Amino acid sequence: MTLQRLWVDKIASSTRNVVTRRDIRVTDQIIAAEGYVIAGRIHGEKNVYNQLEDPHGRMVTLHHGDIIVGVLGPRNALHGYSGIVPESVTVGQKLQLLNLGGVIGICTSQNPDVGRPFDVEVLGAVLVFPDFEDRSGVHATIRMNAIDCGDDAGTPDVPVVYVAGTCMSSGKTSAACQLIRQLATRGLAVGGCKLTGVSLRRDTLQMLDYGAKLAVSFTDAGVVTTTGATAVRVARGLVSHLGASGAQVIVAELGDGILGEYGVQDILRDRELASRASAMVMCANDPVGAWGAVQVMRNEFGLKIDVFSGPTTDNNVGVRYVREQLGLEAINARTNGPQLGEFIASRLNGRLKKVVA
């Protein structure tokens, strides 16, 4: 095993479970598996999708030659890059930067709106030294210091408001943050969480900005990208963690759409998670998406939508369609946040009395 000392220019937010400094040690023996932390050199310059989110949530611009620390992982995004973790990774191999959070893998598909991804020349696997005076080091992985998603028995029965969407970029985070704000102003300790998606800290930081007492995501549980194999376990664990940490109500965003590859369907089918739901907010981009969401939620998952938000409620055309044709409430989170908060609070009243008492 060959060790090398590197000075890093930028560190990705996806590594935040691991204590990583800019002065790092890397090895040429690389474990090619999701969650392992590697160092690499950026190749090329870009004018779009050219930034990296650091562990503090700040977006930093990447340049040719920058040495970064990121995490091996897959991505299956409609409005971005898709990619996989290769079977083996060697020093000098060129992988690609798959998202703003620093997920690295082989790009298998790209959206024309974001252009080609940055190439990342692999420099080595990052080592950490958790044992005092032990200089041998261990391979860094974001499973270190992660939230335990094991046994959740005995978790307080905290009501959960789920915020789902028909697709990426359908207004889910805006709706979730407005709900957090409105519930927090009512004196409630609100826990925010993002249950599915690919590593990026931006959404949970926004939840904190809007008044969440605590906000966590699947990355805090040691997962780079959720799938059907991990989503339910992680969702249960995060909900339990927030309940045990004092949240009186939880606003849970389901990243991606209700039909996708991040495990949203598995969460919606899980009876235990469904039993915690006090309200279901659905964000849709247009009336067709709203109609389809009603069909999918009812026929595939046996669940009822309480209210629509997102772009389909941006003006009276969509609002009128949802109310008159679908028979459901439609409230735009950006323009009518207090009204949306009041509507959801009315759905929570019975369970909140039990929690607050």
Question: Does the pLDDT of residue 326 top 90, yes or no?
Answer: yes
Does residue 71 sit within a domain?
yes
What is the sign of the dihedral through the CA atoms of 95, 98, 52 and 79? positive
213 & 299 share domain: yes
Does residue 284 sit within a domain?
yes
The chain-wide mean pLDDT, for the chain, equals 93
30 & 118 share domain: yes
Question: Does the pLDDT of residue 292 top 60, yes or no?
Answer: yes
Question: Does the pLDDT of residue 355 top 80, yes or no?
Answer: no
* Section 273-277 average pLDDT: 91
The percent of residues above 70 in pLDDT, for the chain, comes to 95
Q: Is 264 helix (H, G, I), strand (E, B) or coil?
A: helix
Print the domain residue range for 170.
160-356
Q: Write down the pTM of the prediction.
A: 0.93
Does residue 147 sit within a domain?
no
**Which of 31, 129, 130, 24 has the alpha carbon at shortest distance from 69?**
24
* Section 257-273 average pLDDT: 94
Tell me the backbone φ, ψ of residue 10, rounded to 5 degrees: -145, 140
Task: Give pLDDT, residue 133.
Answer: 66
123 & 187 share domain: no
Count of CB atoms situated within 10 Å of the CB of 25: 19
The predicted-structure confidence for 73-112, as pLDDT tens digits, reads as follows 999 877 789 999 999 999 999 999 999 999 999 999 988 8
Collect all residues with Cβ–Cβ distance below 8 Å to 220 and sequence separation of at least 6.
17, 146, 147, 238
326 & 193 share domain: yes
57 & 181 share domain: no
Task: Give pLDDT, residue 270.
Answer: 95
Q: Provide the β-strand partners of residue 160.
A: 250, 277
Angle at 212 between CA 341 and CA 354, to 5 degrees: 65
Does residue 155 sit within a domain?
no
- At residue 154 the predicted structure's pLDDT band, cuts being 50, 70 and 90, is low
Q: How many structural domains is the chain composed of?
A: 2
Q: Are the C-beta atoms of 212 and 205 separated by less than 8 Å? A: no
* Section 306-326 average pLDDT: 96
256 & 319 share domain: yes
108 & 189 share domain: no
- At residue 137 the predicted structure's pLDDT band, cuts being 50, 70 and 90, is confident
120 & 188 share domain: no
* Section 282-286 average pLDDT: 96
225 & 352 share domain: yes
Task: Give pLDDT, residue 136.
Answer: 76
Tell me the backbone φ, ψ of residue 163, rounded to 5 degrees: -115, 110
Q: Residue written as tokens 């479970």? A: 17
Does residue 347 sit within a domain?
yes
165 & 305 share domain: yes
The percent of residues above 90 in pLDDT, for the chain, comes to 84
217 & 129 share domain: no
The predicted-structure confidence for 33-61, as pLDDT tens digits, reads as follows 999 999 999 999 999 999 999 999 999 99
Q: Can you read off the two tokens belonging to residue 70?
A: 């990121």
- Please report, for the domain that includes residue 346, its CATH number: 3.40.50.300
Does residue 65 sit within a domain?
yes
d(CA 324, CA 316): 11
Question: Does the pLDDT of residue 153 top 90, yes or no?
Answer: no
Does residue 146 sit within a domain?
no
Task: Give pLDDT, residue 144.
Answer: 95
The predicted-structure confidence for 7-38, as pLDDT tens digits, reads as follows 999 999 999 999 778 999 999 999 999 999 99
Task: Give pLDDT, residue 42.
Answer: 98
Q: Can you read off the two tokens belonging to residue 43?
A: 């190749």
* Section 255-261 average pLDDT: 91
* Section 316-324 average pLDDT: 96
Kind plus residue range of the DSSP H or E element containing 109:
strand 103-109
130 & 195 share domain: no
Does residue 206 sit within a domain?
yes
